[in-house]
Protein backbone atom coordinates (compact mmCIF):
# COMPACT_ATOMS: atom_id res chain seq x y z
CA UNK A 1 0.00 0.00 0.00
CA UNK A 2 1.00 3.61 -0.43
CA UNK A 3 0.20 6.75 1.56
CA UNK A 4 -0.77 9.67 -0.70
CA UNK A 5 -2.23 13.15 -0.34
CA UNK A 6 -5.95 13.41 -1.06
CA UNK A 7 -5.25 15.62 -4.10
CA UNK A 8 -3.34 12.75 -5.72
CA UNK A 9 -6.12 10.17 -5.22
CA UNK A 10 -7.98 9.21 -8.40
CA UNK A 11 -11.40 7.62 -9.01
CA UNK A 12 -10.87 3.87 -9.12
CA UNK A 13 -8.23 3.85 -6.37
CA UNK A 14 -9.02 1.45 -3.55
CA UNK A 15 -8.66 2.17 0.17
CA UNK A 16 -5.95 0.07 1.82
CA UNK A 17 -6.53 1.17 5.44
CA UNK A 18 -9.91 2.05 6.97
CA UNK A 19 -11.04 5.60 7.75
CA UNK A 20 -12.65 6.18 11.14
CA UNK A 21 -15.56 8.28 12.40
CA UNK A 22 -15.47 10.32 15.60
CA UNK A 23 -16.72 7.43 17.77
CA UNK A 24 -14.13 5.03 16.40
CA UNK A 25 -16.43 3.20 13.99
CA UNK A 26 -15.29 2.62 10.42
CA UNK A 27 -16.44 5.26 7.94
CA UNK A 28 -14.95 3.61 4.84
CA UNK A 29 -13.34 0.20 5.05
CA UNK A 30 -10.42 -1.51 3.39
CA UNK A 31 -11.04 -2.39 -0.27
CA UNK A 32 -13.65 0.31 -0.96
CA UNK A 33 -13.25 1.68 -4.48
CA UNK A 34 -13.27 5.47 -4.53
CA UNK A 35 -15.20 7.65 -6.94
CA UNK A 36 -15.17 11.43 -7.38
CA UNK A 37 -18.04 11.89 -4.89
CA UNK A 38 -16.27 9.90 -2.18
CA UNK A 39 -13.02 11.80 -2.74
CA UNK A 40 -14.74 15.21 -2.50
CA UNK A 41 -16.63 14.15 0.61
CA UNK A 42 -13.45 12.95 2.34
CA UNK A 43 -11.65 16.19 1.45
CA UNK A 44 -14.56 18.23 2.86
CA UNK A 45 -14.33 16.20 6.09
CA UNK A 46 -10.74 17.37 6.54
CA UNK A 47 -9.10 14.09 5.51
CA UNK A 48 -5.94 15.11 3.69
CA UNK A 49 -4.27 11.77 2.93
CA UNK A 50 -5.21 8.14 2.35
CA UNK A 51 -3.57 4.73 2.14
CA UNK A 52 -4.38 3.23 -1.26
CA UNK A 53 -3.73 -0.16 -2.84
CA UNK A 54 -0.81 -0.16 -5.26
CA UNK A 55 0.69 -3.08 -7.16
CA UNK A 56 4.27 -1.85 -6.76
CA UNK A 57 3.97 -1.54 -2.98
CA UNK A 58 1.37 -4.17 -2.09
CA UNK A 59 3.75 -5.85 0.37
CA UNK A 60 4.42 -2.62 2.30
CA UNK A 61 2.08 -2.61 5.28
CA UNK A 62 2.65 0.05 7.97
CA UNK A 63 2.20 -1.45 11.41
CA UNK A 64 0.25 0.79 13.74
CA UNK A 65 1.27 0.82 17.38
CA UNK A 66 -2.18 -0.36 18.47
CA UNK A 67 -4.65 -2.85 16.97
CA UNK A 68 -7.75 -1.38 15.34
CA UNK A 69 -10.09 -3.14 17.79
CA UNK A 70 -8.28 -1.64 20.80
CA UNK A 71 -8.31 1.80 19.16
CA UNK A 72 -12.03 1.52 18.45
CA UNK A 73 -12.85 0.53 22.03
CA UNK A 74 -10.70 3.32 23.46
CA UNK A 75 -12.01 6.05 21.14
CA UNK A 76 -15.61 4.94 21.73
CA UNK A 77 -15.07 5.19 25.50
CA UNK A 78 -13.49 8.64 25.17
CA UNK A 79 -16.29 9.73 22.82
CA UNK A 80 -19.10 8.62 25.15
CA UNK A 81 -17.42 10.05 28.25
CA UNK A 82 -16.70 13.45 26.75
CA UNK A 83 -20.16 13.71 25.21
CA UNK A 84 -21.71 13.05 28.61
CA UNK A 85 -19.76 15.98 30.06
CA UNK A 86 -20.70 18.21 27.11
CA UNK A 87 -24.40 17.56 27.71
CA UNK A 88 -25.14 20.20 30.35
CA UNK A 89 -28.73 18.97 30.84
CA UNK A 90 -27.50 15.47 31.69
CA UNK A 91 -24.52 16.55 33.79
CA UNK A 92 -26.39 18.98 35.99
CA UNK A 93 -26.62 17.95 39.66
CA UNK A 94 -25.36 14.41 39.24
CA UNK A 95 -22.12 12.51 38.92
CA UNK A 96 -21.18 11.74 35.33
CA UNK A 97 -19.46 8.45 34.46
CA UNK A 98 -19.09 7.22 38.07
CA UNK A 99 -16.85 4.35 36.90
CA UNK A 100 -14.63 6.61 34.78
CA UNK A 101 -11.40 5.72 36.57
CA UNK A 102 -12.00 1.98 36.29
CA UNK A 103 -13.06 2.23 32.62
CA UNK A 104 -10.00 4.19 31.55
CA UNK A 105 -7.70 2.01 33.65
CA UNK A 106 -8.94 -1.01 31.69
CA UNK A 107 -8.58 0.81 28.36
CA UNK A 108 -5.01 1.87 29.05
CA UNK A 109 -4.20 -1.65 30.19
CA UNK A 110 -5.10 -2.90 26.70
CA UNK A 111 -3.00 -0.16 25.11
CA UNK A 112 -0.02 -1.20 27.22
CA UNK A 113 -0.50 -4.86 26.29
CA UNK A 114 -0.19 -3.93 22.62
CA UNK A 115 2.86 -1.74 23.20
CA UNK A 116 4.51 -4.48 25.28
CA UNK A 117 4.31 -6.98 22.40
CA UNK A 118 6.31 -4.79 20.02
CA UNK A 119 9.91 -5.89 19.37
CA UNK A 120 10.92 -2.21 19.53
CA UNK A 121 9.16 1.03 20.33
CA UNK A 122 9.86 2.99 17.16
CA UNK A 123 6.27 4.00 16.59
CA UNK A 124 4.06 5.63 13.99
CA UNK A 125 0.36 6.41 14.28
CA UNK A 126 -1.22 5.58 10.95
CA UNK A 127 -4.97 5.79 11.56
CA UNK A 128 -7.02 8.19 9.41
CA UNK A 129 -10.02 9.98 10.84
CA UNK A 130 -12.39 12.83 10.03
CA UNK A 131 -11.54 16.26 11.43
CA UNK A 132 -14.67 16.16 13.60
CA UNK A 133 -13.09 13.20 15.40
CA UNK A 134 -9.98 15.18 16.37
CA UNK A 135 -10.72 15.60 20.09
CA UNK A 136 -11.35 11.88 20.64
CA UNK A 137 -8.63 10.48 18.39
CA UNK A 138 -6.19 13.08 19.71
CA UNK A 139 -6.70 11.95 23.31
CA UNK A 140 -6.08 8.36 22.26
CA UNK A 141 -2.92 9.22 20.29
CA UNK A 142 -1.55 11.29 23.17
CA UNK A 143 -2.08 8.34 25.52
CA UNK A 144 -0.20 6.00 23.17
CA UNK A 145 2.70 8.44 22.81
CA UNK A 146 2.78 9.07 26.56
CA UNK A 147 2.77 5.31 27.21
CA UNK A 148 5.77 4.89 24.91
CA UNK A 149 7.57 7.64 26.84
CA UNK A 150 6.70 6.00 30.15
CA UNK A 151 8.11 2.67 28.96
CA UNK A 152 11.27 4.41 27.71
CA UNK A 153 11.71 6.05 31.11
CA UNK A 154 11.38 2.68 32.86
CA UNK A 155 8.18 3.47 34.76
CA UNK A 156 6.64 0.73 36.85
CA UNK A 157 3.07 -0.50 36.34
CA UNK A 158 1.51 1.98 38.77
CA UNK A 159 3.36 4.93 37.25
CA UNK A 160 2.38 3.88 33.72
CA UNK A 161 -1.24 3.60 34.81
CA UNK A 162 -1.25 7.06 36.41
CA UNK A 163 0.39 8.57 33.33
CA UNK A 164 -1.92 6.71 30.92
CA UNK A 165 -5.17 7.71 32.64
CA UNK A 166 -3.96 11.30 32.82
CA UNK A 167 -3.09 11.22 29.11
CA UNK A 168 -6.41 9.71 28.03
CA UNK A 169 -8.33 12.37 29.97
CA UNK A 170 -5.95 15.34 29.77
CA UNK A 171 -8.26 17.31 27.45
CA UNK A 172 -11.56 16.56 29.20
CA UNK A 173 -11.83 20.25 30.11
CA UNK A 174 -12.42 20.95 26.40
CA UNK A 175 -15.96 19.67 26.96
CA UNK A 176 -16.66 22.95 28.75
CA UNK A 177 -15.42 25.12 25.85
CA UNK A 178 -18.14 26.41 23.45
CA UNK A 179 -18.18 24.24 20.33
CA UNK A 180 -17.89 27.26 18.02
CA UNK A 181 -14.48 28.06 19.52
CA UNK A 182 -13.21 24.51 18.97
CA UNK A 183 -13.89 24.76 15.21
CA UNK A 184 -12.93 28.44 14.84
CA UNK A 185 -10.53 28.93 11.93
CA UNK A 186 -9.41 32.51 12.58
CA UNK A 187 -7.61 34.35 15.36
CA UNK A 188 -9.46 34.22 18.69
CA UNK A 189 -10.38 37.39 20.56
CA UNK A 190 -8.79 37.85 23.98
CA UNK A 191 -11.92 36.78 25.85
CA UNK A 192 -12.37 33.74 23.59
CA UNK A 193 -8.74 32.76 24.16
CA UNK A 194 -9.25 32.91 27.92
CA UNK A 195 -12.26 30.60 27.60
CA UNK A 196 -10.21 28.08 25.66
CA UNK A 197 -7.25 28.29 28.02
CA UNK A 198 -9.53 27.72 30.99
CA UNK A 199 -9.98 24.10 29.84
CA UNK A 200 -6.93 23.15 31.90
CA UNK A 201 -8.59 24.24 35.16
CA UNK A 202 -11.94 22.81 34.11
CA UNK A 203 -10.34 19.45 33.37
CA UNK A 204 -8.54 19.37 36.71
CA UNK A 205 -11.74 20.28 38.55
CA UNK A 206 -13.55 17.40 36.85
CA UNK A 207 -10.89 14.75 37.45
CA UNK A 208 -9.98 15.60 41.04
CA UNK A 209 -13.53 14.77 42.15
CA UNK A 210 -13.11 11.10 41.18
CA UNK A 211 -11.71 9.07 44.05
CA UNK A 212 -10.39 6.36 41.69
CA UNK A 213 -8.34 8.82 39.60
CA UNK A 214 -4.99 9.82 41.09
CA UNK A 215 -4.40 13.50 41.78
CA UNK A 216 -1.17 13.29 39.74
CA UNK A 217 -3.21 12.00 36.79
CA UNK A 218 -5.47 15.03 37.24
CA UNK A 219 -2.41 17.29 37.00
CA UNK A 220 -1.97 16.16 33.38
CA UNK A 221 -5.15 18.13 32.65
CA UNK A 222 -4.06 21.12 34.73
CA UNK A 223 -0.44 21.44 33.59
CA UNK A 224 -0.15 20.14 30.02
CA UNK A 225 0.09 23.71 28.67
CA UNK A 226 2.73 24.80 31.18
CA UNK A 227 6.10 25.38 29.51
CA UNK A 228 9.64 24.71 30.72
CA UNK A 229 10.63 28.40 30.63
CA UNK A 230 7.54 29.59 32.51
CA UNK A 231 5.64 30.99 29.50
CA UNK A 232 2.76 28.50 29.67
CA UNK A 233 -0.58 28.53 31.50
CA UNK A 234 -2.53 28.48 33.77
CA UNK A 235 0.11 29.18 36.46
CA UNK A 236 3.33 29.96 34.57
CA UNK A 237 5.22 27.09 36.20
CA UNK A 238 8.88 26.49 35.30
CA UNK A 239 11.10 23.45 34.91
CA UNK A 240 10.52 20.74 37.47
CA UNK A 241 7.65 22.69 39.02
CA UNK A 242 5.69 21.00 36.23
CA UNK A 243 4.89 17.38 37.07
CA UNK A 244 6.82 14.93 34.88
CA UNK A 245 3.59 13.28 33.69
CA UNK A 246 2.30 16.66 32.51
CA UNK A 247 5.59 17.40 30.76
CA UNK A 248 5.32 14.10 28.86
CA UNK A 249 1.68 14.72 27.97
CA UNK A 250 2.55 18.26 26.84
CA UNK A 251 5.13 16.94 24.37
CA UNK A 252 2.81 14.21 23.08
CA UNK A 253 -0.04 16.73 22.78
CA UNK A 254 2.11 19.15 20.77
CA UNK A 255 3.44 16.47 18.41
CA UNK A 256 0.04 14.96 17.65
CA UNK A 257 -1.59 18.39 17.29
CA UNK A 258 1.07 19.46 14.78
CA UNK A 259 0.70 16.28 12.73
CA UNK A 260 -3.12 16.50 12.59
CA UNK A 261 -5.10 18.75 10.19
CA UNK A 262 -6.92 21.57 11.94
CA UNK A 263 -9.56 24.09 10.76
CA UNK A 264 -6.98 26.92 10.66
CA UNK A 265 -4.04 25.06 9.05
CA UNK A 266 -2.83 21.98 7.22
CA UNK A 267 -1.16 19.00 8.84
CA UNK A 268 2.60 19.18 9.44
CA UNK A 269 4.73 16.17 8.59
CA UNK A 270 6.24 14.12 11.41
CA UNK A 271 9.65 15.42 10.38
CA UNK A 272 8.49 19.05 10.63
CA UNK A 273 6.95 18.35 14.06
CA UNK A 274 10.20 16.80 15.28
CA UNK A 275 12.12 19.85 14.06
CA UNK A 276 9.74 22.09 16.01
CA UNK A 277 10.16 20.05 19.18
CA UNK A 278 13.94 20.15 18.96
CA UNK A 279 13.82 23.92 18.39
CA UNK A 280 11.61 24.19 21.51
CA UNK A 281 13.96 22.07 23.63
CA UNK A 282 15.20 24.01 26.65
CA UNK A 283 12.50 26.66 26.23
CA UNK A 284 9.04 25.11 25.95
CA UNK A 285 10.16 21.59 26.85
CA UNK A 286 12.96 19.77 28.66
CA UNK A 287 15.52 18.95 25.95
CA UNK A 288 16.31 15.54 27.47
CA UNK A 289 12.63 14.57 27.27
CA UNK A 290 12.54 15.74 23.64
CA UNK A 291 15.54 13.55 22.81
CA UNK A 292 13.90 10.56 24.48
CA UNK A 293 10.62 11.17 22.67
CA UNK A 294 12.25 11.53 19.26
CA UNK A 295 14.18 8.28 19.63
CA UNK A 296 10.88 6.38 19.50
CA UNK A 297 8.97 8.18 16.72
CA UNK A 298 9.03 7.04 13.11
CA UNK A 299 9.67 10.20 11.08
CA UNK A 300 8.94 8.56 7.72
CA UNK A 301 6.47 5.71 8.35
CA UNK A 302 6.47 2.71 6.03
CA UNK A 303 4.46 3.38 2.82
CA UNK A 304 5.11 7.15 2.94
CA UNK A 305 5.65 8.61 -0.55
CA UNK A 306 8.76 10.79 -0.93
CA UNK A 307 10.23 13.04 -3.60
CA UNK A 308 14.02 12.59 -3.70
CA UNK A 309 16.64 15.12 -4.77
CA UNK A 310 17.33 12.94 -7.83
CA UNK A 311 13.80 13.69 -9.09
CA UNK A 312 12.70 10.12 -8.38
CA UNK A 313 9.63 9.20 -6.34
CA UNK A 314 10.07 6.51 -3.71
CA UNK A 315 7.98 4.84 -1.03
CA UNK A 316 9.45 4.08 2.39
CA UNK A 317 9.92 0.32 2.69
CA UNK A 318 11.90 0.06 5.92
CA UNK A 319 13.00 2.26 8.81
CA UNK A 320 16.42 2.22 10.43
CA UNK A 321 16.36 2.89 14.18
CA UNK A 322 19.93 4.19 14.05
CA UNK A 323 19.24 6.56 11.14
CA UNK A 324 15.56 7.55 11.32
CA UNK A 325 16.03 10.39 8.81
CA UNK A 326 17.46 7.99 6.21
CA UNK A 327 14.96 5.18 5.48
CA UNK A 328 15.13 2.58 2.75
CA UNK A 329 12.90 3.60 -0.17
CA UNK A 330 11.40 1.68 -3.08
CA UNK A 331 11.60 3.64 -6.33
CA UNK A 332 8.23 3.70 -8.13
CA UNK A 333 8.88 6.58 -10.55
CA UNK A 334 12.04 7.71 -12.30
CA UNK A 335 12.96 11.36 -12.75
CA UNK A 336 11.54 11.32 -16.30
CA UNK A 337 8.12 10.30 -14.95
CA UNK A 338 8.29 6.66 -16.08
CA UNK A 339 7.86 3.62 -13.88
CA UNK A 340 10.80 1.24 -13.54
CA UNK A 341 10.30 -2.14 -15.19
CA UNK A 342 10.89 -3.70 -11.80
CA UNK A 343 10.73 -1.81 -8.48
CA UNK A 344 14.10 -1.47 -6.78
CA UNK A 345 15.20 -0.04 -3.46
CA UNK A 346 17.74 2.52 -2.29
CA UNK A 347 19.24 2.57 1.20
CA UNK A 348 19.41 6.30 1.90
CA UNK A 349 21.77 5.88 4.85
CA UNK A 350 24.36 4.60 2.35
CA UNK A 351 23.55 7.00 -0.51
CA UNK A 352 24.58 10.22 1.20
CA UNK A 353 24.31 12.34 -1.94
CA UNK A 354 20.55 11.68 -2.17
CA UNK A 355 18.30 13.79 0.06
CA UNK A 356 14.58 13.82 0.76
CA UNK A 357 12.93 16.90 -0.76
CA UNK A 358 9.43 16.41 0.65
CA UNK A 359 6.63 14.00 1.38
CA UNK A 360 4.05 13.54 -1.36
Q: Which of 95, 73, 74, 70 is nearest to 84 (CA)?
A: 95
- pTM, entire model: 0.89
What is the structure's pLDDT at 333?
Answer: 94
Q: Residues 6 or more apart from 172 whose CB is under 8 A from it?
A: 81, 82, 85, 202, 203, 206, 207, 221
**Per-residue pLDDT tens digits for 235-248:** 999 999 999 999 99
Q: Where are the domains of the chain?
A: 1-61, 68-294, 304-360
Rounded to whole angstroms, what are the CA distances from 82 to 87, 192, 206? Answer: 9, 21, 11
Rounded to whole angstroms, what are the CA distances from 168 to 25, 136, 213, 306? Answer: 18, 9, 12, 33
**Per-residue pLDDT tens digits for 260-317:** 877 667 788 888 899 999 999 999 999 999 999 988 888 888 899 999 999 999 999 9
What is the structure's pLDDT at 126?
Answer: 63
Residue ranges of the chain with per-residue pLDDT less than 50: 89-90, 93
| Superfamily of 68-294 according to CATH | Hypothetical protein af1432 (1.10.3210.10)
Q: Is 331 helix (H, G, I), strand (E, B) or coil?
A: strand
What is the structure's pLDDT at 321?
Answer: 76
H or E stretch including 249? Answer: helix 244-258
C-alpha 148/C-alpha 153 separation (Å) is: 9
Q: Residues 6 or more apart from 270 whose CB is under 8 A from it?
A: 124, 259, 297, 298, 299, 300, 301
What is the structure's pLDDT at 197?
Answer: 93
What is the structure's pLDDT at 66?
Answer: 85
The DSSP bridge pattern shows strands 328-333 and 344-347 to be antiparallel
What is the structure's pLDDT at 298?
Answer: 81
Q: Which CATH number fits domain 1-61: 3.40.1190.10, 3.90.105.10, 3.90.1170.50, 3.40.50.460?
A: 3.90.105.10
C-alpha 122/C-alpha 270 separation (Å) is: 13
Q: Is 312 helix (H, G, I), strand (E, B) or coil?
A: coil
Amino acid sequence: MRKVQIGMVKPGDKIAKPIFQENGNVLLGEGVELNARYIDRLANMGIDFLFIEDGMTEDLIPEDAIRDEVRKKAVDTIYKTMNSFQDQAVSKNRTIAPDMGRSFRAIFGEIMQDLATRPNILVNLTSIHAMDAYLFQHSFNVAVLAGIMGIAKGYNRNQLEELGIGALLFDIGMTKVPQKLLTHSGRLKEEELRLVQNHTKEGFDILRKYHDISIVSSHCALQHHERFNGTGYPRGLKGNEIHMYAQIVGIADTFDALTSPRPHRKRHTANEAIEFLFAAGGTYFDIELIKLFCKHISIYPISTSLLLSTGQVGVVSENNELAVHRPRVRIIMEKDGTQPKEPYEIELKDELYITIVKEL
